Amino acid sequence: MTDFETLGAFYLGKRYDIPSRTRQDDFVLYDAKDLTTHAVIIGMTGSGKTGLGVGLIEEALIDRVPVIAVDPKGDLGNLALRFPALVPSDFRPWVDPQQATNAGLTPDAFAEQQAALWKSGLAGWGQDGARIQRLSDAADVTIFTPGSTAGRPLSLLKAFDAPPAAIRDDAEALQERVNATATSLLALLGIDADPISSREHILLANLLHHAWAEGRSLDLAGVIGGIQHPPFTSVGVMPLDTVFPPKDRMTLAMQLNNLLAAPGFQTWMHGEPLDTASLLYDAHGKPRGSVISIAHLGDAERMFFMTLLLADILAWVRTQPGTGSLRAILYIDELFGYMPPVANPPSKVLLLTLLKQARAYGLGVVLATQNPVDLDYRGLSNTGTWFIGRLQTERDKMRVMEGLEGVSGGQPFDKAAMEQTIAGLGKRVFLLHSVHEPAPITFETRWTMSYLAGPMTREQIRSISGQRPSVPPPPAAASRAPGIGATGSTGGSVGALDARPASHAPVLPHDIPQFFLPPARESGSFTYHPMVLGLADVRFANAKLGVAEQRRIALMASIDDGPIALEWNSAERVELDPSVLERGPRDGASFGTVPPSAANPKSYTAWSKTLPKWIIANEQVTLYKSAACKATSNPGESERDFRIRLQLLAHEARDAKIETLRGKYATKLFALRERIRRAEQAVQREQQQASQAKMDTAISVGGAILGAIFGRGKVGVGTLSKVGTAARGAGRASQQAGDVARAMESLEALHTQFTDLETALQAEVDTLGSTYDAQQETLETVVIKPKSSDVHVQLVALLWVPYTKDAAGLMTAAWR
């Protein structure tokens, strides 16, 4: 294993001595776990800030830690340019012809030069194509372009979905999400809305809160409809029409409708959904490097998207179990405008909340900026690691000094020495100040494995993403009920839906249980059609694995006029709360025909007997077991989610073992540090005594000689005594020099012992093995099926389901 390939550590570069302007041999290895306290990278243009950021992300991905990187300039897309073979043909498509011309070379010759440069640059830092291949194997890099089809587009349809229960049950978190979404949407319309005084904001916030508190999702069309016809009649204690008259609400609805109808906005409505879990892991649970390029967006669009992204990340964080290990990274390049010290854009409160709360869930936030004055001091105080590069103005330096002094935690802070260090920083040289380390260090960033070709154009993003220019698809057709085909049939009951509906409910035997699904709208015409509802509670148990899972299964089956009236195999599995079922029909509804079998009470008895058999044959709980991590999946946990959890479990176990080893060596290392400190003091003391002895000897000898020369021509006893004293002083000086040499030898011996002890610690860390890859492990599958005694049928009844006919004459669901 290479010296810098240490478990749980990111290889960032090597120590750098500013006075001598030389790179040293000591590797700078940053503990991945330390990033849970977040980090900030500060440096002017040309300081090497992008290279440090790319290197940090590379190290995270090679350690299988997923990353979401927001890229407002187009530089971070270079993370996708990974060429393990390091041959010119790989570099050629990314060569800028103008750069080649400026260098006096053809594009082919310039590509050859770049390949050679990257190969030698990597070699100078102990890296090669094999390490690039390891990076490529560990995680894929995908470039997303919200509002554009150049890369992978991101759909915002999910952005107005009801947040998870963890958010809805937290009143403060829910209101935070509501305010951020309302503010960002109004900002996109060019409305600078204050949450307290703006009636537009108050209306939107109430609409979102009303729907989300009930667990109902919205889309933009639903928001527009809600603005026109809100589901409430008052705001606070005043009538809604007084606070926001219908005419003015229609103006707001028209503004939002015009935005939705604009051709350019359609690109926001298709593509992969904006979902943090999907941005961090692919469909198989493999870690992802998701670069979200927003360089093509205007300021209002950027703020709109950033607010929705941060809100979704915060919601995802709050659904995760706590951990002390690094689970994922959010990297934001060029933070200008998103967390300013004075203004309050909708992104600011979300970022501050993430910096305060995400640590407990293993999300590390890394913020990069050119100007520290762009950052709110409350955010800076919540970052445990500072990477400081070359700064442009004295104001920036003063702001950094204030921040460093603020996060010193009461430890001694040498302001003058720190100012001198920062003033001496050059290109690719950074000061690393971490609350987890005893003292700051300076280092030079390593060569990146990704080819830094510069900001990517849309065409380059499209090329590497494999995207083709596309036209957004037309709006989706109205959704139909489960099992309803173009002919308007459910299963084989064509007659039931095609027959002329009756204006009154058919009269059925009193011992046939009947229920009615409530329609989605209070008004409007609809027709009830008969189906059979099967409701059962099923228990899945395995004492050995500690599984005791209880499920409620609801099936909605169509009824046929043929020999086999009902097939549970063709039934639709539905999510249905029995408490919403109604005992009687709504006024004005019509009714479909009831097949003869559904009018016979004995049919329901037979169907109640076949339902458990179907459940026993078809329902099961599938679990996955990991031999490497000695873990079993939870009921309902997919293989993808289990593999994601296994990767985190492996990181937690690794971090715990490393901490144990460090604890084992901590006492010895501390004792040696103390001995080294005392030895250094002894060397200084002996050097001072030796210097004083030399001076005293020189003075004594000089006085004796001068006395002999300028005396009265006689060498008396006094003169001889002075010469003797001078000679004894010279002996003492010689002895003091020997003491210095012996003190230096003792100090060097202690330094050697300390180095040997650190080497022994590192050797034990290396014996922990290589990084675990959850994607490569073959999992054992365990299937748990219910027994007949585990199935309890609660209800088999006739269910009246409301439908309407659309403009094309097709039957569509009218129930919620």
Both ends of the chain: CA-CA distance in Å?
A: 60
Place of tokens 């030389």: 22
More confident residue, 5 or 239: 239
**Strand 238-239 relative to strand 140-144, pairing:** unpaired
Yes or no: say if 144 and 292 are a contact pair by the CB < 8 Å rule. Answer: yes
Q: For residue 448, what pLDDT is reported?
A: 97
Residue 558 has pLDDT above 60, yes or no: yes
Lowest mean pLDDT among 394-398, 427-431, 556-560: 394-398
Residue 247 has pLDDT above 80, yes or no: yes
Q: For residue 481, what pLDDT is reported?
A: 38
Q: How confident is the model over 767-806, as pLDDT tens digits?
A: 665 678 999 999 999 999 999 999 999 999 999 999 887 7
Q: For residue 687, what pLDDT is reported?
A: 76
Q: How confident is the model over 626-643, as pLDDT tens digits?
A: 999 999 999 989 999 999
Report d(CA 286, CA 139) in Å as an integer: 7
Residue 433 has pLDDT above 50, yes or no: yes
Report d(CA 741, CA 314) in Å as an integer: 61
Q: For residue 265, what pLDDT is reported?
A: 85
**Residue 588 zone, left/alpha/beta (φ > 0; ψ -120 to 50; rest):** left
Q: Using 50, 70 and 90 to split pLDDT, how confident is the model at 262? A: confident
Helix (H/G/I), strand (E/B), else coil: 272: strand
499: Cα separation from own chain's centroid: 55
Lowest mean pLDDT among 80-94, 368-382, 516-530, 683-697: 683-697
Q: For residue 255, what pLDDT is reported?
A: 93
Residue 569 tokens, joined:
């195999």
Report d(CA 77, CA 423) in Å as an integer: 31
Report d(CA 642, CA 781) in Å as an integer: 12
Q: What is the mean pLDDT of residues 210-234?
A: 89
Q: Using 50, 70 and 90 to split pLDDT, how confident is the model at 488? A: very low
Q: For residue 792, what pLDDT is reported?
A: 96
Q: Using 50, 70 and 90 to split pLDDT, how confident is the model at 496? A: very low
Q: What is the mean pLDDT of residues 647-651?
A: 93
| Amino acid identity, position 301 | E
Report d(CA 281, CA 330) in Å as an integer: 14
> How many residues does the structure list for the chain?
816
Rg of the Cα atoms in the chain: 36
Q: What is the mean pLDDT of residues 268-274?
A: 88
747: Cα separation from own chain's centroid: 47
Q: Using 50, 70 and 90 to split pLDDT, how confident is the model at 697? A: low
Residue 332 tokens, joined:
């934001």
Give the torsion through C-alpha atoms of 179, 180, 183, 187, to 10 deg: 180
∠ CA 796-799-802, nearest 5°, is 160
Report d(CA 460, CA 467) in Å as an integer: 10
Report d(CA 608, CA 349) in Å as an integer: 55
Nearest to 552 by CA among 567, 536, 532, 566: 536
Q: Using 50, 70 and 90 to split pLDDT, how confident is the model at 473? A: very low
Q: For residue 281, what pLDDT is reported?
A: 97
Long-range contacts of 238-247 (CB under 8 A, 24+ apart): 243/199, 243/202, 244/199, 244/200, 244/202, 244/203
Question: 242: buried, middle or exposed (CB in 10 Å: 19+, 13-18, 0-12)?
Answer: exposed
Architecture of domain 639-765: Orthogonal Bundle (1.10)
| Amino acid identity, position 589 | A
493: Cα separation from own chain's centroid: 49
Helix (H/G/I), strand (E/B), else coil: 410: coil
Q: For residue 491, what pLDDT is reported?
A: 38
> Average pLDDT of the chain?
86
Place of tokens 């002094």: 405
Q: For residue 475, what pLDDT is reported?
A: 43
Residues 6+ apart with CB under 8 A from 752: none
Residue 661 has pLDDT above 90, yes or no: no
Residue 706 has pLDDT above 70, yes or no: no
Q: What is the mean pLDDT of residues 47-59?
A: 96
Q: What is the mean pLDDT of residues 63-79?
A: 96
Q: What is the mean pLDDT of residues 603-612?
A: 95
Ranges of each domain in the chain: 31-153+286-469, 162-270, 494-620+785-813, 639-765
Q: Which helix (H) or strand (E) is 24 found in, with range?
A: strand 22-31
Lowest mean pLDDT among 63-67, 321-325, 423-427, 481-485: 481-485
pTM of the complete model: 0.81
Report d(CA 775, CA 639) in Å as an integer: 10
Architecture of domain 31-153+286-469: 3-Layer(aba) Sandwich (3.40)
Nearest to 80 by CA among 282, 286, 291: 291
Range with the largest mean pLDDT of 104-118, 395-409, 675-689: 104-118
Nearest to 645 by CA among 656, 629, 657: 629
Report d(CA 100, CA 109) in Å as an integer: 8
Q: Give the helix ranges, DSSP H, for 319-428.
A: 346-357, 377-380, 394-406, 415-423
Report d(CA 527, CA 497) in Å as an integer: 9
